[in-house]
Amino acid sequence: MNQIEEAKQFIQQKLNKQEPNIGLILGSGLGVLADYIEEPTTIPYEQIPHFPKSTVAGHEGQLVIGELEGQTVLAMQGRFHYYEGYPMEAVTFPVRVMHALGIEQLIVTNAAGGINENFEPGDLMIIQDHINMMGTNPLIGPNPDELGTRFPDMSQAYSKSLRNLAEETANELGQTIRKGVYVGNSGPTYETSSEVKMLRILGGDAVGMSTVPEVIVANHSGMKVLGISCISNMAAGILDQPLSHEEVIETTERVREDFIQIVRSILKKM
Ligand code: R1P
C-alpha cells in the first residue's frame, strides 16, 4: 500500500462514517476556527502514518474533522512549511491525503505581510493568484500519472467562482475585503526592504512562506481552491519597525472574529 493510501485508511478508521467534502488549511494563528467544528474527531499529526510534525508556534498540529455550517470539513490546525526542513513532498502530503479522502474543494488560509501600501494589518485578502518565489516546485520529479497530469494548468489556480463567492459574502457581511496576489517565499527570514520593493514591482500584494506548494498540488489533483490571507503586518520597508512572529500571531488574534465569520459564511454557501 502506498503512503497516501495508508494515511487515508488510518484517518477513515477514526471517522464515524463521516465523509469530509471540504478541506481547510489554517495558517499561523488562524487555527481557532477548528474549535467551532461540531462533533469533532481530532487526530494529532504524530499518530497519522507518514505525516510530518508541526514545529511552528501558532500551528497546533492536528486534524479536526466534523460538521461546520452544514459541511463535513477536515481542518488542518497547523501546516508544514518548506523552511522547517521538510521536502516539498512532505509539505504537500496532507493535500494528497485530502484528495484521496474524496475532498474536492480546499480553503487555504495564511498570515501574510502586506506589500500593497493600501493594505493595513488586520485586513483579510482573497488570493486572486500567486507568484512562486520558493525556488522549487512540489511536482518536480517523476509524475504519478494516477494523481494528476505532468503539466498542470494554473490559469485558475484559485477558483474564480469561489473568489466571487468570497467577495459577495464579505459584501453581505459588510466586511472590508482586499483582493490580491500572494507571493510565496521559502523563508524563514522575512524579506528585506529591497526584496519587498522588487515583489511589489513584480505584482505581489502580500508575501508569506506557505500556501503556494499546497495550491500547486491541489491543482494537480483537480481540486478547487479558495485562498484567504490575513495581512498580519506590513512587509519590510513600509513601516519603520522590525517584523516578528509574535506580531503576526497578535494580529491574527485581533481579527479572529471577522475571519471566523467570513469563512463560516462562505462554507454555508459552498
Ligand atoms: C511567519 O511569521 C510565519 O507566518 C506565516 C509564514 O508563512 C510563516 O510561517 O505562516 P502561515 O503561512 O503558515 O500562515
pLDDT of residue 169: 97
pLDDT at 58 exceeding the cut of 80? no
Residue 28: its pLDDT value, please?
Answer: 86
pTM of the shown model = 0.96
Cα–Cα dist 208/136, whole Å: 15
Is residue 228 within 8 Å of 125, Cβ to Cβ? yes
Instruction: Tell me the pLDDT band of 248, cut-offs 50, 70 and 90.
Output: confident
pLDDT at position 253, please?
Answer: 85
Nearest Cα residue to atom 5 of ligand 1: 111
Judged against a pLDDT cut of 80, whether residue 93 lies above it is answered with yes
Q: Is a pLDDT exceeding 80 seen at residue 14?
A: yes
CA terminus-to-terminus distance, the chain: 33
Poorest-pLDDT segment among 6-20, 54-68, 85-99: 54-68
Q: Is 50 annotated as a binding residue?
A: no
Q: How large is the ipTM?
A: 0.98
Average pLDDT over residues 119-125: 95
The predicted pLDDT at position 251 comes to 86
Residue 1 above 70 pLDDT?
no
SS3 (DSSP) at 252: helix
Mean pLDDT confidence for 55-83: 92
Q: Which residues does ligand 1 sit against, CB inside 6 Å?
A: 27-28, 56, 79, 81, 110-111, 187, 208-210, 245, 248
Distances from the Cα of 59 to the Cαs of 25, 42, 77, 153, 246, in angstroms? 10, 14, 6, 31, 13
Helices 245-254 and 256-269: crossing angle, nearest 10°? 60
Residue 213 in grid coordinates: 506548494
Sign of CA dihedral 38, 254, 166, 132: negative
Find residue 126's DSSP bridge partners. Answer: 179, 228
Q: What is the pLDDT of residues 149-180, one digit of tens each?
A: 999 999 999 999 999 999 999 999 999 999 99
Catalytic residues: 28, 59, 81, 83-84, 111, 209-210, 233, 245
Probe ligand 1: pick from 80, 110, 234, 250, max atoms within 8 Å of CB?
110
Pick from 211, 44, 33: nearest CA to 126: 211
111 is in an annotated binding site: yes
Q: Could you give the CA distance from residue 94 to residue 34 in angstroms, rounded to a whole number?
A: 16
SS3 call for 215: helix
For 205-234, how does the pLDDT look when each residue is reduced to its tens digit (9 = 90+)? Answer: 999 999 999 999 999 999 999 999 999 988
Residue 221 in grid coordinates: 489533483
pLDDT higher than threshold 80 for residue 18 = yes
Rounded Cα gap, residues 139 and 27, in angstroms? 22
